[in-house]
A and B are shown apart, each in its own frame.
Chain A
């Protein structure tokens, strides 16, 4: 983004080729590509990689991602699939913090009562270690400060 010389208030647009995350509905948690804009609220989407048939979707169900595919306006499913594979969107998406958060949320929701208990215990152990390390550093810092002050005198 170093080539950008002017200020852009928005960076993600509803445009053909824009990859979007489905936040609601039967295809929740999947990625689609916007193919065409139908009107203010609806777009034509296609998700060959996530097995979402080409069709309309409400923009209120979509969250725009930073990815944009390069394919001609209203490209067919085959074109979308090819562009998707060429850009390696699935791999790129997995690497994003967003996708990792989604995965973490899913994992957390799938935890059983016993798993939650084990997690709580593990956290307690981790926090104890961290607190101890923090105090050790604090103590060392205090000592260093005192030594410095003594040397000055």
Chain B
């Protein structure tokens, strides 16, 4: 049985429909003249909309041409002709290469300011250090503190670090703004001009921290140590930071919690 049509028109919302409809075989209910009156098209019969005057766009442009014997100017079509075929390929703009400095930086969610990290690479590997902040280059700024475990203010990539769940409250600590990537850039002295004999004999450069770095180190050490001192477990925390990380037999880092 076919579904019965809803005869209750009041409940059904009216939807706009053409009043003219197909009776079948292409015959419509209302003739052209009937619809003319129904739609009241006579209203609009003699209506005239004022013509908007569109200012004419110039077809050609005069361009100056270099060279003395070139007549100085040329009239050039604004829209090139269909038959125009350029003699040389247009220089395409290449998709901009993303520089390292434009990369978006991602920091692991487990690394927050004050988190104690275990360094896995570099001269200080195995040490437990305090994370201060992430720099623009994406590297992590860490500090031993130097007074406790000998790890100075350093930058390290987050891949070379294990984040522990232990955290020191550094919310009140203000780390100097000067500690940025520029600050840690290595200073290379310009090579001396060619002298006889020692072209290949290069001197070994030994890193020496500048006076400014020593001052900053002391300042940041104090900030971090003061923050640790506020902790109720400060004694154990100091000992914790002072000891190196190591694995014993049947300890597998991927199965352990940090």
Chain A residue with Cβ nearest B128: A113
Is A51 interfacial (CB-CB < 8 Å)?
no
Find out whether the CB atom of B239 lies under 8 angstroms from the CB atom of A121.
Answer: yes
Q: Give the residues in chain B near A121, CB-CB below 8 Å.
A: 236, 239
B238-258 contact mask (Cβ, 8 Å, vs A): 1 or 0: 011001010000000001111
- How many chain A residues sit at the interface, stated as a range, is under 10
Contact for B257 among A110, A117, A118, CB less than 8 A: A110
Contact present for A114 and B116 (CB under 8 Å) = yes
Shortest Cβ gap from A65 to chain B (Å) = 26
A111 adjacent to chain B (CB < 8 Å): yes
Minimum Cβ distance to chain B for residue A16 (Å): 37
Judge whether B64 is part of the interface by a CB distance below 8 angstroms: no
User: CB-CB < 8 A to A151: which residues of B?
Assistant: none
- Give the CA-CA distance A117 to B255 in the complex, in Å: 17
- Which residues 144-179 of B sit at the A interface, judged by CB distance below 8 A? 162, 164-166
Q: Is the CB of B245 within 8 A of A113?
A: yes
Does A1 touch B at the CB level, under 8 Å? no
Are B164 and A113 closer than 8 Å at their CB atoms? yes
Per DSSP, chain A at the interface is helix
Which residues of B sit under 8 angstroms from A114, Cβ to Cβ?
Answer: 116, 164-166, 240
Closest to B162 in A: A113
- Residues of the B chain whose Cβ atoms lie less than 8 Å from the Cβ of A112: 164-166, 257-258
- Say if the beta carbon of B118 comes within 8 Å of chain A: yes
| CB of B94, distance to nearest CB on chain A (Å) | 48
Closest 4 CB pairs of A and B: A114-B166, A113-B258, A113-B164, A112-B165
List 18 contacting pairs A-B, 8 Å CB cutoff, sorted by A. Answer: A109-B255, A110-B257, A111-B257, A112-B164, A113-B165, A113-B166, A113-B256, A114-B116, A114-B164, A114-B165, A114-B240, A117-B236, A117-B239, A117-B243, A118-B236, A118-B240, A121-B236, A121-B239
A110-B257, A113-B165, A114-B165 given; name 20 further pairs at CB < 8 Å.
A109-B255, A109-B257, A111-B257, A112-B165, A112-B166, A112-B257, A113-B118, A113-B164, A113-B245, A113-B256, A113-B257, A113-B258, A114-B166, A117-B236, A117-B239, A117-B243, A118-B236, A118-B240, A121-B236, A121-B239
